[in-house]
Amino acid sequence: MHAGSALNIPFADNLFDAVWMQNVGMNIPDKPKLYQEITRVLKPGSRFDFQEMVAGETPTTYFPLPWATDGADNFLISASEMHTMLTRSGFRELYFEDVSEAPLPAPPNGTAEDATQTPLSLSVYVENLAQKAENASRSLRERHIRLHRGVFRAK
């Protein structure tokens, strides 16, 4: 097991065939450094795959969110800003899409409330998950935040 910072990844250059990041970037204010580090540890031609929340049409005012207690903790950027930063960091787009309208998978136990009550749910790590999830859902519906998935290749 390795512990470290996404802004100073504790691995050698050109080491990995792929990096997968899911719902991480919204917690990191220094996106150029994040993408620089991911580029650094990837072998040339390797893939960076991700799923991330991005800023929507207007800023959300519904807090707390799963990643931000209040606006000061919310480091979302727009999809176009993300795309620009990724290409400036040496990535080439293979796939980049807003999947905000895609149906989410059904919780394993039937309802969202049931899913927050299971012993191994996200509620183990996220305090007040039901309220945070509802605020995120409302922010998605009202287009304050968007969900993007992408696959980019390191040059």
Quote the pLDDT of residue 13.
98
The DSSP code for 18 is E
| pLDDT reading at 105 higher than 60 | no
Residue 30's domain comprises 16-154
DSSP annotation string for 127-142: TTHHHHHHHHHHHHHT
Dihedral Cα 81, 13, 150, 69, nearest 10 deg:
-60
Strands 42-55 and 16-22: parallel
Residue 7 lies in a domain: no
Kindly state the average pLDDT of the residues 87-113: 79
Token pair belonging to 124 = 């183990």
For 143, list phi and psi in degrees, rounded to 5.
65, 30
What domain count does the chain have? 1
Residue 107 lies in a domain: yes
Quote the pLDDT of residue 130.
87
Q: Look up residue 138 and give its amino acid.
A: R
Residue 6 lies in a domain: no
Residue 9 lies in a domain: no
DSSP annotation string for 26-68: GG-S-HHHHHHHHHHHEEEEEEEEEEEEEE-SS------BTTB
77 contact partners, CB below 8 Å, separation of at least 6: 31, 54, 55, 85
How far apart are the C-alpha atoms of 80 and 100, rounded to whole Å? Answer: 15
Q: What are the residues facing 30 on neighbouring strands?
A: none
Q: How confident is the model at residue 119 (pLDDT cuts 50, 70, 90)?
A: low
Prediction pTM value: 0.85
- 3 state SS of 20: strand
Q: Look up residue 40 and give its amino acid.
A: R
Residue 125 lies in a domain: yes
| pLDDT reading at 46 higher than 60 | yes
Residue 33 lies in a domain: yes
- Are the CB atoms for 53 and 147 separated by under 8 Å? yes
Give the CATH number, domain containing residue 75.
3.40.50.150
Quote the pLDDT of residue 1.
83
Percent of residues, the chain, with pLDDT higher than 90: 75
- Are the CB atoms for 149 and 99 separated by under 8 Å? yes
